[in-house]
Structure 1
Amino acid sequence: MSDRAATFHALHRPGRPLLLPNAWDHASAAALVARGHPAIGTTSLGVAAAAGKPDAAGATRIDNLDLARRLRDLPVLLTVDVEDGFSDDPATVADYVAELAALGVVGVNLEDGRPDGTLAPVELAAAKLAAVRAAVPGLFVNARTDAWWLGVPDPLDEALRRARSWRAAGADGFFVPGAPDDLVGRLAAEAGLPLNVLHRPGGPGLAALGRLGVARVSTGSLLFRAALGAALQLADAVRGGLDADLPTPPTYGWVQALSAPKEAP
Structure 2
Amino acid sequence: MNDRCAAFRALHHAGRPLLLPNVWDHASAAAFAARGYPAVGTTSLGVAASAGLPDGAAATRAENVRLARMLCHLPVLVTVDVEAGCADDPAAVAELAVELAAHGVVGINLEDGRADGTLDSAELTAAKVAAVKAAAPQVFVNARTDTWWLGLPDPLPETLRRAHAYEAAGADGIFVPGTPDADTVAALVAEIGAPLNVLYRPGGPTLDELRALGVARVSTGSLLFRAAFGAALDTLDAVRSGATLPTRPPSYDEVQRLSAPSRP
TM-score bracket, normalised by the shorter chain, equals over 0.9
Please state if 1:122 is matched with 2:122.
Answer: yes
Contact 1:14 1:210 in 2 (8 A): no
Deviation larger for 253-262 or 170-179: 253-262
User: 1:207 and 1:88, CA in 2 relative to 1: closer, same or farther beyond 3 A?
Assistant: same
Letter in 2 for 1:199: Y
In structure 2, distance between residues paired with 1:262 and 1:82: 24
Letter in 1 for 2:123: E
Counterpart position of 1:194: 195
- Percent pairwise identity: 68
Please state if 1:225 is matched with 2:226.
Answer: yes
Letter in 2 for 1:236: D
Shift of 1:262: 4.7
Shift of 1:217: 0.2
Contact 1:15 1:214 in 2 (8 A): no
Please state if 1:171 is matched with 2:171.
Answer: yes
Structure 1 length normalisation: TM-score? 0.97
In structure 2, distance between residues paired with 1:203 and 1:52: 31
Aligned to 2:153, the other structure's residue is in SS state coil
Counterpart position of 2:134: 134
Structure 2 length normalisation: TM-score? 0.97
Contact 1:14 1:213 in 2 (8 A): no
Q: How does 1:24-35 map to 2 (within 5 A)?
A: 24-35=24-35
Counterpart position of 2:153: 153
Contact 1:14 1:214 in 2 (8 A): no
Counterpart position of 2:10: 10
Contact 1:110 1:141 in 2 (8 A): yes
1:124-149 per-position Cα deviation (integer Å, ceiling 9, x unaligned) = 00000000000001110000000011
User: Is there any run of 5+ residues in structure 1 with no aligned partner, and where?
Assistant: none
Q: How does 1:250-265 map to 2 (within 5 A)?
A: 250-262=250-262
Counterpart position of 2:243: 242
Contact 2:74 2:263 in 1 (8 A): no
Contact 1:15 1:212 in 2 (8 A): no
Deviation larger for 147-156 or 249-258: 147-156
In structure 1, distance between residues paired with 2:197 and 2:15: 11
Letter in 1 for 2:96: Y
In structure 2, distance between residues paired with 1:180 and 1:200: 9
Q: Compute the RMSD of aligned alpha carbons.
A: 1.3
Counterpart position of 2:213: 212
User: Is there any run of 5+ residues in structure 2 with no aligned partner, and where?
Assistant: none
Q: How does 1:25-104 map to 2 (within 5 A)?
A: 25-104=25-104
Shift of 1:154: 2.2
Counterpart position of 1:183: 184
In structure 2, distance between residues paired with 1:154 and 1:123: 20
Contact 2:73 2:263 in 1 (8 A): no
Contact 1:145 1:175 in 2 (8 A): yes
Shift of 1:173: 0.4
Aligned to 1:80, the other structure's residue is in SS state strand
Aligned to 2:13, the other structure's residue is in SS state coil
User: 1:263 and 1:147, CA in 2 relative to 1: closer, same or farther beyond 3 A?
Assistant: closer
Contact 1:163 1:174 in 2 (8 A): yes
Query: How many equivalent residue pairs?
Result: 263
Contact 2:22 2:221 in 1 (8 A): yes
